[in-house]
Amino acid sequence: MTQNIPLEVNQTDFLDDLIGVIVGRDYIDQHSYDFYKTQVERWQEQGYYHDAMLYFWYYEPIEGLYCKPQDNFDNFVKVVNGLGFLLPSDRQALIINTLNNINRLNIAETTLNRTRAILDFWLAIEDWGTFDTERFDCAFSIMDRKGLIIQDNYWQNFDEQKFNSDYQKLLNMTVYWRKRYSKTKLEHYQELIIV
């Protein structure tokens, strides 16, 4: 059972950034020392600190001399754990990223913002950065074929009434998706806090 731990803004910001790192990279456990060092330095610049970060500050290990690529990932995980969090699984990261995209669809108010939300979500789907979103991909493709997704500022023959009708169908799909994966983003984040 998950404890209901209130999240501070800086914890949510850190986890949002961590999700972006995981979703934006294939095989998060197979990157170079420099990749992890860059992430850790960004976090330090944002005000996060733990002694485990020292591994990425003072020396660059020479791979092969008592150092394996896995060591870099293990030390990256130590930083995340030291800051008070578990590293999310790939599935958790994809679900949270999908929730972020769904939230953008739900809060967009203007046609332009709604179009941007659709295009961002569609790009995340194409980049394998979402979870169980095949129906959204199909809906976006259908809207595109109908000329309802504005791209490159091309508004000719745009039918806003049809767009709004199809957009409402997308919003209904978000309700269905959320029912299938009933946890909210904050509930997922609460599971990642080390107590």
pLDDT tens digit sequence for 93-102: 999 999 999 9
DSSP string, the chain: ----PPPPHHHHHHHHHHHHHHHTSSSTTS--HHHHHHHHHHHHHTT---GGGGHHHH----TTSS--HHHHHHHHHHHHHHTTBPPPPHHHHHHHHHHHHHHHHHH--SHHHHHHHHHHHHHHHHTT-SSS-HHHHHHHHHHHHTT-S--TT--TT--HHHHHHHHHHHHHHHHHHHHHS---HHHHHHHTB--
Q: Is residue 57's pLDDT more than 90?
A: no
167 and 117 housed in the same domain: yes
Average pLDDT over residues 49-76: 79
CB 55 within 8 A of CB 78: yes
Final residue of a structural domain among 82, 113, 131:
82
115 and 69 housed in the same domain: no
189 domain-assigned: no
Domain count, the chain: 2
Which of 40-49, 60-69, 109-118, 154-163 comes out lowest in average pLDDT? 60-69
104 and 170 housed in the same domain: yes
What contacts 24+ positions apart, CB below 8 Å, involve 122-128?
A: 124/23, 124/97, 124/98
d(CA 81, CA 16): 16
Q: Is residue 16's pLDDT more than 80?
A: yes
21 and 100 housed in the same domain: no
Final residue of a structural domain among 65, 82, 99:
82
Average pLDDT over residues 30-36: 86
65 and 100 housed in the same domain: no
95 and 69 housed in the same domain: no
64 and 95 housed in the same domain: no
pLDDT at 7: 75
Which of 11-25, 61-75, 150-164 has the highest average model confidence (pLDDT)? 11-25
Final residue of a structural domain among 82, 101, 116:
82
Of the pLDDT bands very low, low, confident and very high (cuts 50, 70, 90), residue 1 is very low
4 domain-assigned: no
Its pTM stands at 0.87
Q: For residue range 151-194, what is the model confidence (pLDDT) as tens digits?
A: 776 666 788 899 999 999 999 999 999 999 989 999 999 999 98
65 domain-assigned: yes
Of the pLDDT bands very low, low, confident and very high (cuts 50, 70, 90), residue 3 is low
122 and 164 housed in the same domain: yes
Give the range of the structural domain holding residue 71, as residue numbers without chain letter. Answer: 9-82
